[in-house]
Amino acid sequence: MERFASPEAIVNRPDARSALVELLFQLADDDLFVAHRASEWLGLAPHIEEDVAFSSIAQNTMGHALYWYTLLEPLTGKNADDLAYLRPREAYRQAILVERPNGPGLFYENPSYDWAYAVVRGLAYETFKRIRLEALASSSYVPLAEAALKMRDEQFYHLYHWETWWTELSQSTDEARRRLTEAARSVFHDLPTLWDLGPKAETIVRLGLGPSAEEIERKTLKALEAEFRRVALSFPPLGSPAFTGREGQHTDEGWAAIQMMGEVYRMAPEAAW
């Protein structure tokens, strides 16, 4: 398999470059949204230790998003902030699961967020992310492979965190088990949106830029099944969402979040921070 050692090695190969850009936007936009939804919990988490933990996960994950956008800079000729905040709605590639709101309300106005949903989505996303990063460590695009290895070391702690909550809540009260079960049903409706690779799937896999959707789906489901079995909760059915986000279709809540994240930046993109 051909390996691409640097941006220069791929930037003049239109098919390879556009597939790589597609994949990097999936990685970047997923982490951007996970970090943003996590940051909306700040001050609202169940206890102060959790505020420390969840905001730390948010910070690391935003760092991962920024790194992916930085890898996109030489391939797109745009800077990371513009890539994160100034694209049109249909250019975003995050999966629907990560753009879903935390619950009714807004973080600054009557938030009625569901902690069970945060726990199950955290468990599902970080399980998926671990498997995706491990597979990306052998990407044919060397800068991507190196970044994946580095992030995997850090992400170990994120997954541990959600596994801990999942285990402890599932061993606590009937209400906790009932709410985890309900949250799992919502999360699993959107779960297949994670591994969809979008319109350039064939090229991404053929050039070895990233793993196939089938490989990630199989490994993620196997890992999650083990988690449900361990705590004796029944494995919910997978949904079949009308769109995944990878093709550029998004929910209004997802687009509203982008608008909010970029609100200040769009006022004066030239300002130095």
Site for other proteins in 64-83 (CB under 8 A): 64, 66-67
**Quick check: 243 binds other proteins (CB under 8 A)?**
no
Using CB under 8 A as the criterion, what x/- string covers residues 159-188 for binding other proteins?
A: -xx--x--xx--------------------
Using the minimum distance from each CB to other proteins, give the nearer residue, 94 or 244: 94
DSSP label of 22 = H
Measured from the CB atom, the residue of 131 and 151 that comes closer to other proteins is 151
DSSP lists the bridge partners of residue 4 as 141
Contact 120, 166 (CB under 8 A): yes
* 8 touches other proteins (CB under 8 A): no
Applying CB under 8 A, among 44, 80, 119, 151 the residue interacting with other proteins is: 151
Question: Is 252 near other proteins (CB under 8 A)?
Answer: no
DSSP state of 238: P
Q: Does 140 bind other proteins (CB under 8 A)?
A: no
For 267, the token pair is: 């006022």
- Contact between 84 and 259 under an 8 Å Cβ cutoff? The reply is no
Q: Which segment (108-116, 144-152, 204-212, 239-247) binds other proteins by CB under 8 A?
A: 144-152
For other proteins, give the closer residue by CB, 157 or 243: 157
The answer to the question of residue 21 lying near other proteins (CB under 8 A) is no
Q: How many residues lie near other proteins (CB under 8 A)?
A: 27
Q: Provide, rounded to whole angstroms, the least separation between the CB of residue 39 and other proteins.
A: 13
DSSP per-residue string spanning 200-227:
GHHHHHHTTSS--HHHHHHHHHHHHHHH
> Is the CB of residue 78 less than 8 Å from the CB of residue 13?
no
The closest alpha carbon to 65, from 102, 103, 37, 96, belongs to 37
In angstroms, the Cα distances linking 170 to 53, 94, 234 are 20, 29, 12
The C-alpha atoms of residue 160 and residue 79 are separated, in whole angstroms, by 33
**Gap between the Cα atoms of 167 and 45, Å rounded:** 18
- Closer CB to other proteins, 26 or 60, in the complex: 60
Q: State which of residues 34, 147, 194, 258 lies at the interface with other proteins (CB under 8 A).
A: 147
Query: Which positions touch other proteins (CB under 8 A)?
Result: 49, 52-53, 56-57, 59-64, 66-67, 143, 146-147, 149-151, 153-154, 157, 160-161, 164, 167-168
